[in-house]
């Protein structure tokens, strides 16, 4: 049975709290969905990222095997040879996040968008935003 949007957000929260990807050299960086240290190709997208890869919160979700089984994918980004973009049911980026978690586009942007002037974007702050959103879900 597929996970609910709430369960998916809880999974992402747990991923960020555990910080398991850091053990494999995956950095937390809200400035990119997923940036690799070298060129990637379409055949590499969805594989295990290499040390030095950086990903935002939703980027961490697309690298998780459990959430990949739920249909979330890391797809080759046409505009940059070393970036992967989250995709879900043909949607990309924030629209993919909105559909995947069952939240509005605005809520997806509030959770996952980089904002230098008004929002704290370290791991703990993103986890706190996710927890607040989970608390409002049925």
Instruction: Please count the CA atoms within 13 angstroms of the CA of 57 that sit on its side-chain side.
Output: 29
Residue 100 in tokens: 């995947």
Confidence of residue 44 (pLDDT cuts 50, 70, 90): very low
| Long-range contacts at 87-92 (CB < 8 A, ≥ 24 apart) | 87/62
Q: For a pLDDT cut of 90, what percent of the chain falls above it?
A: 48
- For residue 74, what pLDDT is reported? 87
Q: For a pLDDT cut of 70, what percent of the chain falls above it?
A: 82
- For residue 47, what pLDDT is reported? 55
Does pLDDT of 43 surpass 50?
A: no
């Amino acid at each position: 049975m597929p996970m609910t949007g709430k369960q998916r957000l809880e999974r992402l929260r747990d991923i960020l709290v555990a910080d398991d990807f850091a053990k494999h050299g995956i950095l937390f960086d809200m400035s990119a969905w997923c940036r690799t240290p070298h060129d990637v190709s379409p055949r590499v997208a969805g594989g295990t990222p290499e040390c030095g890869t950086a990903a935002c919160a939703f980027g961490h979700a697309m690298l998780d095997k459990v959430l990949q089984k739920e249909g979330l994918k890391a797809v080759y980004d046409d505009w940059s040879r070393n970036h992967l973009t989250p995709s879900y049911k043909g949607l990309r980026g924030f629209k993919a996040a909105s559909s995947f978690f069952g939240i509005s586009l605005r809520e997806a942007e509030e959770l996952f968008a980089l904002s230098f002037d008004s929002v704290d974007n370290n791991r703990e702050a993103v986890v706190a935003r996710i927890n607040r959103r989970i608390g409002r879900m049925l």
